[in-house]
């Protein structure tokens, strides 16, 4: 299975400051159609995951534009331009290119 490695594991951030999460895959995530199926989810305590970004950099409906995704091949990044209180929780990257889909171990964002 493709191993997804996120860093950091914990991310304390001051309100209004930027944040960045890294995700690396053990294999290229470029699919045979040329697309890269890398997704970012956010999970608040006690809630189900919510998809934020798909195919590396595409926003899902209703996702604030302070979130952005980038990367290619095996290296990907989720950035939050200005952290707000509602952004706390765990962020997961997931690859959908190879079966089975696999998730990173998560990055816990908290407010300093």
Kindly tell me which residue out of 40, 67, 76, 92 binds another protein, with binding defined by CB under 8 A: 92
Work out how close the CB of 18 gets to another protein at its nearest, in angstroms, rounded to a whole number.
25
Hey, how many other C-beta atoms are within 10 angstroms of the C-beta on 109? Answer: 20
User: Binding to another protein by residue 101, rule CB under 8 A?
Assistant: yes
36 within 8 A of 59, measured Cβ to Cβ:
no
CA distance 23 to 7: 7
Quick check: 48 binds another protein (CB under 8 A)?
yes
17, two tokens: 């400051």
Report the nearest approach of another protein to the CB of residue 78 (Å).
Answer: 16
Q: Write down the least CB distance from residue 6 to another protein, Å.
A: 10
Give the three-class secondary structure for 12: strand
60 binds another protein (CB under 8 A): yes
Instruction: Tell me if 108 contacts another protein by CB under 8 A.
Output: no
Q: What is the dihedral of CA 95, 97, 98, 104, to 10 degrees?
A: -10
* Residue ranges in contact with another protein by CB under 8 A: 31, 37, 39, 48-51, 54-55, 58, 60, 92, 94-97, 99-106
């Amino acid at each position: 299975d493709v191993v997804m490695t996120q860093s950091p594991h914990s991310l304390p951030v001051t309100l209004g400051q930027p944040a960045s999460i890294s995700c690396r895959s053990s294999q290229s995530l470029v699919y045979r159609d040329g697309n890269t199926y890398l997704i970012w989810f956010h999970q608040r305590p006690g809630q189900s995951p919510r998809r934020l970004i798909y195919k590396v950099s595409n926003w899902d409906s209703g996702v604030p534009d302070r979130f952005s995704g980038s990367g290619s091949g095996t290296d990907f990044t989720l950035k939050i331009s200005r952290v707000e209180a509602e952004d706390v929780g765990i962020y997961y990257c997931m690859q959908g290119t190879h079966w089975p889909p696999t998730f990173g171990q998560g990055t816990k964002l908290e407010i300093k």
